Structure 1
Amino acid sequence: MGPGLASTASDNDPSGIAAYSLAGAQFGYDMLWLCVLSYPSMVAFQLIASRIAVLTGKGLTTNMREHYARIYFYLAVARFLIANVFNIAADTVAMGVAASLLWHGSVPVFAALGTAVSIVLQLTVRYPRYASLLKWLTLSLFAYAAVVIVLHVSWQTLVWNSLVPHVRWTDHYFSMLLAIIGTTISPYLLFSQATQQLEELRLDKQHERTAEYHRLLEQQFRKTRKDTLIRTALSNSAGLVIIAAAAATLYAHGHGLENIEDAARVLEPVARGYAAQVLALAFIGTALLALPPLAGSAAHSIASVLRSDDKQLENRRITRALLFVMMLGGTLGVALICAHVEPLRLLYWGAVVNGSTATPVMFMLVLLSTKRSAVGDLSAHWVLRCLCWLATAAAMAALVCLFVLERMR
């Protein structure tokens, strides 16, 4: 109920909830396997990201700057700026829609206020305290599990579809597959987790050859492995029950999912007349928890372009970059609402953009874990690397299949 709940919520922001709901409403139980079979690769990516950060004492963007050609580094920064700003816009729109469901006001005004509140909280409250309060709003995610239980969904159906891939050779299926990849193996979470590891572990690099240094290092790796296994299991379980709940309600009765009101209908078997309010609380809580790592990872990427040994100057640059990213994302979100873009569509495409642009960053991250200039003799275990390569290849294959099927249509 501590970091696990906060991590589950930040991993499944409004974009993730929308993508999972659409997957269940349109494909039934056929995409449950992604939540289960992606688990080993998700764990592997997080462990590699944490390992690189701890061993080098630097964030992932700084490592990419030092160990890759400038063009690849700039591409990674551009990827973060584009995908994260779009995700921030989608999450601010979700907060606006959620606040409108609760208090019946203007969605653009609520979205702008939500952006302002998030900025103030990020600049004035430490994230652990911030998350310890907001995580209780995300208890509403358990309502999806309650729907699966109340509707007596067959456990045989859940197990079979969770373990056996069901592929439909359509462009829409592969677009949805990329959306699920974008909301499960989220690069921004990998980069923010690496930064968090650096904040938690302050080891003196001058004593790295001592036995005490290696003991503390191994202790940190064990703790990271344990936490990652638990957090990722909770996060993927949340995605699985959202897909299953949407399949058991909307897909089973032939109802489509066209807007936020339809998404709220998934929760009606347990929330009855308060389904919209329960979904609104989930949107607000998960959005406020996801915005700091979204904006923070993008801000670190932008600030790393202008490297400085002056810690205070670097912190000021990160702060200014964070403000820029949040304001740009918030402004884009308000503009899209005013242009009458359907919020559910915006949330879905936020996940698709994340999944479509994740492959290069995944590729660079795995290569970085093998570079002796970065991690020395302590490169990541071959099993971790194989799992990461498998996920990277799957994401690339999905992108290629989507491109080919769209051209054939």
Structure 2
Amino acid sequence: MKIDKGIWKRFGPGIITGASDDDPSGIATYSQAGAQFGLATLWTAVLTFPLMSSIQEICARIGAVTGTGLIGVLKTHYPKPISYLMLLFSFPAIVLNIGADISAMGAVANLVFPNIRASYFCGIFTALLLFLIIKLQYRTMARILRYLCVCLMVYILVPFIVGQQFGKILPATLIPTIRFDKDFLAILVAILGTTISPYLFFWQATMEVEELKHAERKIVVNKRLIQEIAQDVNLGMFFSNLVMWFIILTAGTVLFRAGIHRIETVEQAARALQPLAGNYASLLFSLGVIATGMLAIPVLSGSLSYIVCETFDWKEGLDYKFHEAKPFYIIIIASLIVGLFITYLGISPIRSLIYAAVLYGVTAPVLIAIILHISNNKKIMGKFTNNTMSNVLGIITLILMTTAAFLMFLL
């Protein structure tokens, strides 16, 4: 979105949303996919890119056209119980996700500095994040998040540290491999749930509202702006899936070859890489986990706070100071503290992610269906309703996420 001057500043909410999708929990999922099945799931990065882009672009367009987040639109045009239901499922899922990410950051930091306990790092990261979120205004926070996106480039470097069989990579990327066994279907469901997460829908719509509100000049919502929003979202989702592809490639060429087929946490992935690809690769992998955690947790907690505040008409926004929007910041503080306590209580990050996945799986198909209905409603969107391609991709996404939800409960 060309609101600021300079190439870097043109990157809008799309790049942050895309990068935050590769959070420590997502990295663990992609690492497991590569370790367990080698290159067999590389094609999922190609498949999910247009689906992610389509849904996120629709959410961004809804935010820009209506001037409010998804919950605000739901409250205005749909029965209130729907927004309460979204809140009911989103709150525990996001908090569990935050807890798993904090735990992952502490674990990999402990690998880099083994003399300091992982629990101490968890507390340090939580305190640092709370300070940054509460202290900094929206523009500064958005700038920091954009710079953190660059840190994910380390995952593009790691595969080149070890030798690659390029003749096998391209076919695995372009030709889908499907195995109708429980483990393979389970990893496909996990990848879908990780890449197309409901909290990102809320974040994307709300951030478009924030961007327009904080623009240096008055922005008119027209065809050109919608095209710029789409370009920003496409760039962000491409970056997200590129990182995902490289993580699967790393695990698929290093861990799978070495016979390491069970990776449940990012700590295990980083530890396994050390003797196989060298300390440098393991260090880069660990630093990437910490950076993406610092990026994803503000998005997770911010999404949750926007959802709650929009539901109850409380003042919201990262540009407000703490005393100006106390409920907004209290929700963020509570979500991070509860997430931290989850790690201290010894609850397995994997178990937390399973519970979160179930809750996301329930809400994602319902929310996608609502988003498609909103974006085709001329009373809400005016002349900016979906085109044919958006509807086709949106319906495919809805079918896949509904199927994934069914398989998740079945498996």
Specify the TM-score bucket, using the shorter chain as the normaliser. 0.7 to 0.9
**Partner of 1:165: helix, strand, or coil?**
coil
The aligned residue for residue 208 of structure 1 is: none
TM-score normalised by the chain length of structure 1: 0.85
Partner of 1:241: 246
- Displacement of 1:150 in angstroms is 4.3
Aligned length: 393
Q: Could you tell me which residue of structure 1 aligns to residue 81 of structure 2?
A: 71
Deviation at 1:276, TM superposition (A): 4.0
Displacement of 1:275: 4.1
Matched AA of 1:195: T
Task: Assess if the C-alpha contact under 8 Å between 1:356 and 1:399 holds in 2.
Answer: yes
Letter of the structure 1 residue corresponding to residue 222 of structure 2: L
1:128 to partner: Cα distance: 4.8
Question: Out of 306, 310, 326, which is 2:312 matched to?
Answer: 306
For 1:229 and 1:273, the matched residues in 2 are separated by 34
Cα distance, 1:395 vs structure 2: 1.4
2:202–2:307 CA contact under 8 A, matched in 1: no
Give the direction of change, closer, same or farther, for the CA distance of 1:93–1:222 in structure 2 (3 Å limit).
Answer: same
Contact 1:147 1:270 in 2 (8 A): no
Asked if structure 2 preserves the Cα contact closer than 8 Å seen for 1:18 and 1:347, the reply is no
Asked if the contact 2:306–2:316 (Cα under 8 Å) also holds between the matched residues in 1, the reply is no
SS in structure 1 at match of 2:278: helix
SS in 1 for 2:313: coil
Q: Which amino acid aligns with 1:224?
A: I
Query: Would the alpha carbon gap of residues 395 and 314 (structure 1) be closer, same or farther in structure 2, given more than 3 Å must change?
Result: farther
Change (3 A) 1:330 1:173: same
Query: Residue 283 of structure 1 aligns to which amino acid in structure 2?
Result: V
Change in CA separation of 1:228 and 1:298 when aligned onto 2, cut-off 3 Å: same
Map 1:9-48 to 2 at 5 A.
Answer: 9-48=19-58
Q: Deviation digits for residues 198-256 of structure 1, max 9, x if unmatched? A: 1221499xxxxxxx975x53332122122122221111010011101101111122113
The CA distance in 1 between the partners of 2:214 and 2:112, in whole Å, is 47
Kept after mapping to 1: 8 A contact 2:361/2:404: no
Superposed displacement of residue 192, structure 1: 1.3
1:166 aligns with 2:149: no
Residue 310 and residue 40 in structure 1: after superposition, are their counterparts in 2 closer, same or farther (change >3 A)?
closer
1:114-160 C-alpha deviation (Å, 9 max, x unpaired):
22221111111235534645666665644443343344433342222
Deviation at 1:348, TM superposition (A): 7.1
**CA displacement at 1:316 relative to structure 2:** 3.1
Amino acid paired to 1:395: M
1:349-384: per-residue Cα shift (whole Å, max 9, x none)? 756754564222222211111123321343111210
Judging changes above 3 Å, is the alpha-carbon distance between structure 1 residues 385 and 94 closer, same or farther for their aligned structure 2 residues?
same
Given that 1:18 and 1:344 are in contact with CA atoms closer than 8 Å, whether structure 2 keeps it comes out as: no
Aligned CA distance change for structure 1 residues 327 and 143 (closer, same or farther; 3 Å):
closer
Amino acid at match of 1:288: M
The answer to whether the aligner puts 1:295 opposite 2:301 as a matched pair is yes
Alpha-carbon distance between aligned partners in 1 of 2:17 and 2:381, rounded to the nearest angstrom: 27
Q: Distance in 2 between matches of 1:17 and 1:166?
A: 21
What is the percent sequence identity of the aligned residues? 31
Which region of structure 1 is more displaced relative to structure 2, 302-311 or 324-333?
302-311
Q: Does 1:374 align with 2:380?
A: yes
Question: For residue 107 of structure 2, what is the aligned residue in structure 1?
Answer: 97
Q: Structure 2 unaligned segments of length 5 or more: list them.
A: 1-6
Q: 1:139 to 1:59 in 2, by over 3 A?
A: closer
Cα contact 2:16–2:236 (8 A) shared by 1: no
Superposed, 1:2-401 pairs within 5 Å as 2=8, 3=11, 9-103=19-113, 104-130=115-141, 132-133=143-144, 141-202=152-213, 216-258=221-263, 259-265=265-271, 267-268=273-274, 272-307=278-313, 315-335=325-345, 338-339=346-347, 341=348, 343=349, 354-355=360-361, 357-401=363-407
Letter of the 2:22 counterpart: N
| CA apart distance, 1:18 | 0.6
Kept in 1, the 8 Å contact 2:102–2:125? The answer is yes
Asked whether the equivalents of residues 179 and 355 of structure 1 are also in contact (C-alpha less than 8 Å), the reply is no
Residues 31 and 234 of structure 1: CA distance in aligned 2, closer, same or farther (over 3 Å)? same
TM-score when scaled to structure 2?
Answer: 0.85
Query: Which of the two has greater helix per residue?
Result: 1
**Residue pair 2:126, 2:340 contacting (<8 A) in 1 also:** yes
Note if contact 1:18-1:348 (Cα within 8 Å) is conserved in structure 2: no
